[in-house]
Chain A
């Protein structure tokens, strides 16, 4: 089709140039018509411009006949021009039909692509929903694992959340270094905290009333920090843990006897149900 068009243009240009110097032996209009008419006749879509194609052929035949009979150049030129114009019109109609065909095919294709896109989108959404459900289930599972672990470790449910008390057996007297016996508990805590990254824990150090307030507060702070460090070393993320020292201000038993003092020397780990609760405790 492109070739046809080029031919027509080339022929038109030649005829324009030739118009000034036309000689009786060679009539450019006739040459043009002879070139373009067979082109549109042979097009597989010639049917869309049947009238123009037929008119082009009729005029070309007339022009050829006049030329054979050595008729008037003006007559030949006129018939040839009519033939060429009809062929050009036919060519444009063929091009338009071709474009129209592409539009029809394209419209159907576009529809198919749209449907395909919507299906892919709904598949994607379904997948997202499914993975969200799975995530929720996993989180729930992790949470229940934590609850179970904590209850295994004999944590108590309080209005501050689950509170796990680690007795002074974890530390030597006056020291803030964890004893090896504490590792098992710390390991288990680290494991559950890593599995429930949305859970937070507040570590509070407490002492008995022996020694100065200042000393006790610092000792309790160091003990809380030791537990925090141990958890961090086991891979718990730092934003899950806060550590404070409360000194001797929150006894859970009497400081008058040894048993009571031992109960007071402790590290408490407060597990909150959600982040906001710890945050409000800290602030």
Chain B
């Protein structure tokens, strides 16, 4: 005779078994995919940032997170792998954004300086040349 208690116990056992299996199984392809995508983003950021100062710290942080994501992947720890991959991704994006905003700022400042020079030259009557 199967009592409800027995059935509940069976269900609990089943759930436990499922949990154990999940814990031991390799991380899902989605996580692997996530880490791989971050790797690509970090590589691209490396090219964009290059040797420029702006974004260098963030890029290094991205590399560190990527390293930790790979290590977690090796230890079959899905959640840390996911999280480090995501942080690596965000830091790489931040590095690119910093480097781009710094170069835009530099260009803007150079332009403003050139306008100032041009105005001064015009005021002094120096022949203006289009450069």
Residue ranges of A at the interface with B (Cβ–Cβ < 8 Å): 78, 81-82, 85-86, 88-89, 92-93, 95-96, 99-100, 102-103, 106-107, 109-110, 113-114, 116-118, 120-121, 124
Flag whether B91 is at the interface (Cβ < 8 A): yes
How many residues belonging to B are interface residues under a CB distance threshold of 8 Å?
Answer: 27
In Å, the complex CA distance between A88 and B95 comes to 10
B contact patch SS: helix
Q: A110: which B residues are within 8 A, CB to CB?
A: 111, 114-115, 118
Considering residues B97, B98, B107, B127, which has the most beta carbons from chain A within 10 angstroms of its beta carbon?
Answer: B97
Indicate if B29 sits at the interface (CB-CB under 8 A): no
Chain A residues near B111: list those with CB within 8 A: 102-103, 106-107, 110
A107 surroundings in chain B (CB, below 8 A):
111
Contacts of B121 in A (CB 8 A): 117
Ordered by A's residue number, 18 sampled pairs between the chains whose C-beta atoms are within 8 Å are: A78-B87, A82-B87, A82-B90, A85-B91, A85-B94, A88-B97, A92-B97, A95-B101, A96-B101, A96-B105, A99-B104, A103-B107, A103-B111, A113-B115, A113-B119, A113-B122, A117-B118, A117-B122
Specify which of A86, A109, A120 is in contact with B90 (CB 8 Å cutoff): A86
Give A251 to B105 CA distance when docked, in angstroms: 89
Confirm or deny: B4 has a beta carbon within 8 angstroms of a beta carbon on chain A.
no
The reply on B37 being an interface residue by CB < 8 A is: no
Contact of B108 among A82, A106, A121 (CB under 8 A): A106
Complex CA–CA separation, A110 to B114 (angstroms): 8
A242–chain B nearest beta-carbon distance, Å: 41
A103 and B93 contacting across the interface, CB-CB below 8 Å: no
12 A-B pairs besides A102-B111, A117-B118 with CB distance below 8 A are: A82-B87, A85-B87, A92-B100, A95-B104, A96-B101, A106-B115, A110-B118, A113-B115, A113-B118, A114-B118, A120-B125, A121-B128
Does chain A have a CB within 8 A of B10? no
Given contacts A93-B97, A113-B118, contact A99 B127 (CB under 8 A): no
- Dominant SS at the A interface? helix
B31 at the interface (CB under 8 A from A): no
Closest B residue to A94 using CB positions: B101
Q: A81-B87, A82-B87, A99-B105 are in contact. Are A89 and B115 (CB under 8 A)?
A: no
CB–CB B100/A89 < 8 A: no
Contacts of B127 in A (CB 8 A): 121
Alpha-carbon distance between A216 and B112 when the two chains are bound, in angstroms: 80
- Cα distance A88–B58 when bound, in Å? 11
Whole-angstrom distance from the CB of A130 to the nearest CB of chain B? 16
Is residue B86 contacting chain A, with contact meaning CB distance below 8 A? yes
In the bound complex, residues from chain A placing their C-beta under 8 Å from that of B119 are: 113
Neighbour of B125 across the interface among A78, A103, A114, A124, CB < 8 A: A124
How far is B83's CA from A124's CA once the two chains are assembled, in angstroms?
A: 68
Q: Is A89 touching B107 in the complex (CB atoms < 8 A)?
A: no
A117 to B127, CA, bound (A): 8
In the bound assembly, the distance between CA atoms of A106 and B108 in angstroms comes to 8
Give 8 nearest A-B pairs by CB, closest first.
A117-B128, A92-B97, A96-B101, A99-B104, A85-B90, A106-B111, A117-B122, A102-B108
A118-B115 Cα distance, complex, nearest whole Å: 14
Complex Cα spacing A106 to B111, Å: 6
Instruction: Find chain B residues with CB under 8 A from A82 CB.
Output: 86-87, 90
Known contacts: A92-B97, A114-B130, A117-B128. The answer to whether A102 contacts B86 by CB under 8 A is no
**In the complex, which residues of chain A have a beta carbon less than 8 angstroms from the beta carbon of B97?**
88-89, 92-93, 96
Minimal Cβ-Cβ distance residue in A for B55: A92
Are A89 and B118 in contact (CB-based, < 8 A)? no
Distance, CA A124 to CA B121, complexed state (A): 14
A148 to B131, CA, bound (A): 55
For the complex, what is the distance from the CA of A85 to the CA of B92, rounded to whole Å? 10
A96 and B118 contact, Cβ closer than 8 Å, known pairs A82-B87, A85-B91: no
